[in-house]
Amino acid sequence: MHFQWYPGHMTRARRQMQEDMKLVDVVIELVDARIPHSSKNPDIDELAKNKARIILLNKADMADPEKTALWKEALEAKGFFTVLVNSRNGNGIGEVHKVIQEACAKKIERDRSRGIMNRPIRAMVVGIPNVGKSTFINTFAGKACTKTGNKPGVTKGKQWIRLNKNVELLDTPGILWPKFEDQAVGMRIAFIGSINDEILNPRELSLLLIDFLHSEYNGALSARYNIEETDDPAETLAGIAGKRACLQKGGEYDYDRAAGFVLDDFRNGRLGRITLESPE
Ligand code: G4P
């Protein structure tokens, strides 16, 4: 299976992001904690090279906590500030405020030495589609506003959300595209559901996922579907089709429907907390 994906509005979004980036002190990049490498566009390192950098491992609630700890360590070793976040329920959001101050400590110090005391830090959120940028912005802005008792202050032109007296956040996130440097990256992005399923073959994709789960998270499929996992993914899929009564007219297994169950269950965290890649 080949993964190719070229959205038409990519260039425009990138140019817009480059412009927005000039206005901020710190870039908050969201990655999906289940695929921190594959959901990161390496071009951002060049685009944001003079900015303070924070990486949020979002959807940490769905990722394998042991692997997440390894990723956190690996990213911090590369000089990034990191926070584990669940943007849906707000876990980790408070920590982001603290880390913004840490990441911008030099700028704050520089301002102070020039006698500038009250200039807020300006931040923007970036990431590939579906990593949770909008959810994060809503939760982050919502929480901060209740905490400080302020309504988001909106100015004309660029829309900034005033989080508190120290931080302003650009209200629209910068969109990056995943970099399909190899097929494994495309495959993992497809597993988590960030490539339109219409351009993929769900049955083939589910077989690849079953194969991965059987070797890395042995038992996750048998626990969910009450089946025998075997070394042959097609056989495992047949077992799932049987248990879930996925039958076509005439009584043959409906493999596509069974594949849909597997992909959907994985994407919604019903197969457990699973991470698809480890740091080098
Ligand atoms: P984007 O702006 O980067 O494109 O992503 P968006 O916020 O639209 O989030 C994409 C999906 O990921 C949404 O689910 C959202 O609820 C979910 N999501 C975001 N952050 C987290 C998180 O930390 N943990 C979990 N488990 N999910 C998260 P959806 O199914 O597309 O929409 P909805 O059902 O929430 O309405």
Q: Residue 8 is inside which H or E element, if any?
A: none
Which atom of ligand 1 has the smallest separation from the CA of 129? 4
Quote the CA–CA distance of 11 and 121 in Å, as a whole number: 28
Q: How many residues does the chain have?
A: 280
What mean pLDDT do residues 152-177 have? 80
For ligand 1, atom 9, the nearest C-alpha belongs to 132
Question: CA 21, 22, 25, 30: dihedral to nearest 10 degrees?
Answer: 10
At 95-144, the pLDDT tens digits run 999 999 999 999 999 999 999 888 899 999 999 999 999 999 999 998 54
Ligand 1 pocket test, candidate residues 9, 31, 39, 87, most atoms within 8 A of CB: 87
| CB within 8 Å of 47: residues ≥ 6 apart | 17, 18, 21
Stated pTM of the model? 0.90
pLDDT, position 146? 39
Q: What pLDDT band is residue 89 in, cutting at 50, 70 and 90?
A: very high
Which residue ranges have their beta carbon within 6 Å of ligand 1? Answer: 58-59, 61-62, 85-88, 127, 129-135
pLDDT, position 117? 84
pLDDT at 145 over 70: no
The alpha carbon of 58 is separated from its chain's Cα centroid by a whole number of angstroms, namely 5
pLDDT at 148 over 50: no
Q: Are 52 and 25 a contacting pair, CB within 8 Å?
A: yes
> Looking up tokens 């994906």, which residue turns up?
5
Quote the CA–CA distance of 150 and 144 in Å, as a whole number: 8
pLDDT at 278 over 80: yes
Q: Say how many Å lie between the CA of residue 132 and the centre of ligand 1.
A: 5
pLDDT, position 136? 96
Q: What is the mean pLDDT of the chain?
A: 90
Q: Minimal CA–CA distance to 84: which of 106, 60, 101, 104?
A: 60
Ligand 1 pocket test, candidate residues 17, 41, 88, most atoms within 8 A of CB: 88
Dig out the tokens for 22 from the structure. 């000039």
For ligand 1, atom 26, the nearest C-alpha belongs to 59
